[in-house]
C-alpha cells in the first residue's frame, strides 16, 4: 500500500447514488453534531460573508 493509498483511506465518503430515491441515505448525525461541524467550517472560511454571497437586495444594502 502506497502512502497515497493510506491517505485515501482517511478521506470520508459522500453518500453517492446512481439514481432513484430508494438509495437516499438516513442522517447519521444529530443536529448538535451538525452544528458543531458548521462552527468548524465557519472558522475555516476566512471571507465568510463573501461565500454566502453579496447582498441581493440593493434597497437593503442602502439602509
Partner 1 sequence: MKLVHNNTLISKLSNCHLLLDANVFFHAVANDKFYNLLLDLHEAGCALLTIPSVVFEFARGAQSIKQFNWYVDFINSLGVATYKDVEALIMRDRAFSVLLQKYTKNGKKGVSYTDFLLMMLLHKFHHTADKIYLMTANYIDIPLTIFDRTDLIALEYQHGVQTQALYKNSSIKLQELIRAEV
Query: Is residue 15 involved in binding partner 1 (CB under 8 A)?
Result: yes
**Of the residues 1, 3, 4, 10, which one makes contact with partner 1 according to CB under 8 A:** 10
**Among residues 5 and 25, whose Cβ is nearest to partner 1?**
25
**DSSP secondary-structure letter at 23?**
G
* Distance separating alpha carbons of residues 48 and 54, to the nearest angstrom: 11
Sign of torsion over alpha carbons 31, 51, 25, 40: negative
Q: Which residues form the interface with partner 1 (CB under 8 A)?
A: 7, 10-19, 21, 23-29, 31, 33-35, 37-38, 40-42, 44-45, 48-49, 51-53, 55-57, 60-61
Amino acid at each position: 500500500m502506497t502512502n497515497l493509498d493510506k491517505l485515501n483511506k482517511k478521506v470520508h465518503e459522500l453518500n453517492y447514488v446512481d439514481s432513484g430515491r430508494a438509495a437516499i441515505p438516513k442522517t447519521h448525525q444529530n443536529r448538535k453534531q451538525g452544528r458543531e461541524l458548521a462552527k468548524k467550517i465557519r472558522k475555516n472560511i476566512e471571507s465568510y460573508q463573501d461565500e454566502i454571497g453579496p447582498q441581493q437586495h440593493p434597497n437593503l444594502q442602502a439602509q
